[in-house]
Amino acid sequence: MKTLADKALSFARDAHAGQVRKFPDAAGKDVPYITHPIRVATLLSKYIPEGMADREEAVAAAYMHDTIEDCQKTEQDIVAATGSPKAAAFVRLLTDRPKGSAKRSVRKGETVERMKTAPVAVKMAKAADVMDNLSDGLDKAPIKFLKVYVGEKRALLTGIKAGVTDAAALAMFKDLEAAVESAEALVASLTKVTA
């Protein structure tokens, strides 16, 4: 019998079929997009303790976290594929409003606000997503975009950390803060080079 995580991974594989990551690998080859959700769910699984409330649904949501935003899937599609309304609701919490529906700064600000009151397991899933994105090809991004992007992650960190007292989550968020600081240092060094 398939677990919720198995169903979520299968759904994400189908939804992201044919999509590639924004930046190619070191050899210049396209990277299948599904590698990102797999890394996010794997990273989350390392931080979120067995037995923590909502662990199973959060890991499932980590696999599917970009399916609404990037694949035009719906919460109903997720429930139909996984049988989990809670995992679908978690994916919705992890999803930005569609591009073009509002200015980027507004959409990202809404995400920060949503994270302030999200369940801890969802905050940890968002942290895993950010950590993976910060480790994947930032040095290939245009400096103008990179400055904005890293600033957004600094703001998001405040929303993710808001109200959290769980020790496992706080340890993860400390690692997230280190990743944000590393990205900020990269921006500073690239800004010096281009100045």
Report pLDDT digits (tens) over 48-95. 999 999 999 999 999 999 999 999 999 999 999 999 999 999 999 999
98: confidence class by pLDDT, cuts 50, 70, 90: confident
Cα distances (Å, whole numbers) of residue 194 to 27, 52, 136, 141: 25, 46, 21, 13
Q: Which residues contact 53 (CB under 8 A, 6 or more apart)?
A: 119, 120, 121
Q: What is the pTM of this model?
A: 0.95
What Rg, from alpha-carbon coordinates, does the chain have? 16
Per-residue confidence (pLDDT) for residue 26, from 0 to 100 = 83
Give the other-Cβ count within 10 Å of 158's Cβ. 11
Residue 23's closest CA among 149, 113, 122, 121?
149
Mean of the per-residue pLDDT values of the chain? 95
Per-residue confidence (pLDDT) for residue 81, from 0 to 100 = 98
CATH superfamily membership of 4-194:
Hypothetical protein af1432 (1.10.3210.10)
Per-residue confidence (pLDDT) for residue 38, from 0 to 100 = 98
Per-residue confidence (pLDDT) for residue 140, from 0 to 100 = 83
- Contact, 178 vs 132, CB < 8 A? no
194: confidence class by pLDDT, cuts 50, 70, 90: low
User: CA-CA distance, 26 to 19, in Å (whole number)?
Assistant: 18
Query: In degrees rounded to 5, what are phi and psi of residue 120?
Result: -55, -40
User: CA-CA distance, 25 to 23, in Å (whole number)?
Assistant: 7
Per-residue confidence (pLDDT) for residue 195, from 0 to 100 = 56
User: Mind listing the pLDDT tens digit for each residue in 102-156?
Assistant: 999 999 999 999 999 999 999 999 999 999 999 987 888 889 999 999 999 999 9
Where exactly are the structural domains of the chain? 4-194
Does residue 100 or residue 48 have the better pLDDT?
Answer: 48
